Chain A
């Protein structure tokens, strides 16, 4: 067994070390299968049997560099989109909501850079103005699902066995329903959609997987001396969570948080596209795409390709960044 495996780390995490030490840990598989007791002493089961160059260093140098690279390009593109939406978006409101019915379905030209939609609204302005909503929903939904996941995961990790079992069953039931279907149900129950209610619904569907990770980490941590000491000194639940637990499991859920932003933005656009998310008058990338049925009939490709392109670019950049976060924060598998 490799060192990295017995301390539960990704091989990539043992980066600084030049060598991988191999331990012999008794025959785990035998013990598990036959229920046979292992009589060897702890020392005998845990001894170094070999050493060789860490596999990660067998990578070619350029591959290793690629492994650690910061996604500069993605960050730049995402930064540009964010900047444009946050700083130019508000100034373009007037143009984005103004309907010039005589100019409906105009193809991209000098006056309308990205063309106009079925109601004669300027798509270029709508992109920047509506992008704000899409991004806000992404962040807000992630905040909500992270909040639920952290609290529930910690409670479940610290709680006595039966409560833990109940909470985990509950989480698994949630986890087992496809996320988007869950959102559709909640959305149907919510009635009228606003930006906040939609982010709430999306956030409500996104927490189970993260809660499981938090719970696993908390269970590992709760036996640690510093947690016990804090408890003895009368530290409350939220104090322990904030001071002692959160800093330790934060790196494990960071990757999931970034991915959550991605899936929240995707969920918003999918729901709005299907006509159960944001209504047409609240401009977002998703609600712009909900006009695509008419766009297909009239062959107005710019109404589909341009908002979708921005959406896809954003999602791609977020994914790349999440991937970099995962590779850096070794202990995530």
Chain B
């Protein structure tokens, strides 16, 4: 691919991103508005119950909630295109501000988790492939099955029970102790959530690397390399890994949403102040504006990752 063809390719991909995002915004907007109850409660709290019909109408006007859903959508779209995403009803501040405050925390948790999973999966996968069908391999596979079948939130609960409640060595919730903002404190708060995120996903990818490597080992060039007298280590690390890597990269890119989704749950269990808890709150309290932006943000990350995976596949495989 070069020159004109490449530009055409990228253009088409960009167009498809935009279409997907637009579809997503449309769907989320209307699904969110189907919900009973209303955002007034989340903005005014208890007071919303005692409002007269007139006050209610005025409040709706102020929060830009009047008119038919279609009209509301068009208005939201217009504002969003100008970069105005409205205010969060619950936090009573502009949406980007609320998100920016929490984004860092999620990026730290998700990013560290992703890198750890990415690296450890290759290591464990290679280890298993190296000892294929031996006791080590079987033990690791079994452990993996068990850990990936158990729901994440329960693993998190059990870890909290052991390390925070019984042993009292690690904190059970939050991202830092209020008052102490040191690096060590943050790391201490990260250990448990990170363990859960990694342990829930690691095995699946390790297993994948293991399978891909074993598949590669049956190919003819391995036979050739063997007949030339190369050791199994060298073949596995130098020859097979190179062929497995592009496929692995594209799978990892596709799996970003799963890891992201996992991070969201873990954040909720540990009440870690990140995007995940925010998502949950906004869906629960019908914080429309916040919900829209969060859904679009998640969707954008996912779509871009998928695209990235597709591009890897197109150019390497």
Contact = CB atoms under 8 A, between A and B. Distances in A.
A316 B149 contact: yes
Interface in A241-273: 262, 266, 269-270, 273
What class of interface size applies to chain A in its complex with B?
35 or more
Nearest to A304: B157
Contact of A180 (B19, B161, B172, B265): B265
B20 A184 contact: no
Nearest to B154: A308
Say whether chain B's binding surface is mostly helix, strand, loop, or mixed: helix
Given A176-B257, A274-B280, A305-B158, A181 B36 contact: no
Given A185-B283, A301-B161, A304-B157, A176 B151 contact: no
A181 B264 CA distance: 8
A284 B23 CA distance: 36
Given A178-B260, A189-B31, A289-B157, A270 B298 contact: no
A63 interface: yes
Interface in A186-210: 186-192
B306 A176 contact: yes
B259 to A, nearest CB: 9
Given A188-B35, A274-B268, A308 B299 contact: no
Contact of A266 (B28, B151, B283, B302): B151
B83 interface: no
Say whether chain A's binding surface is mostly helix, strand, loop, or mixed: helix
A303 to B, nearest CB: 10
A308 B298 contact: no
Contacts of A170: 23
B23 to A, nearest CB: 5
Given A180-B261, A191-B36, A191-B37, A312 B166 contact: no
Contacts of B32: 185, 188-189
Interface in A33-85: 55, 59-60, 63
Contact of B20 (A176, A187, A188): A176
Contact of B149 (A63, A176, A304, A315): A315
A276 interface: yes
B213 interface: no
A315 B146 CA distance: 9
Q: 4 closest Cβ contacts across the A-B interface?
A: A178-B261, A188-B283, A191-B36, A319-B149
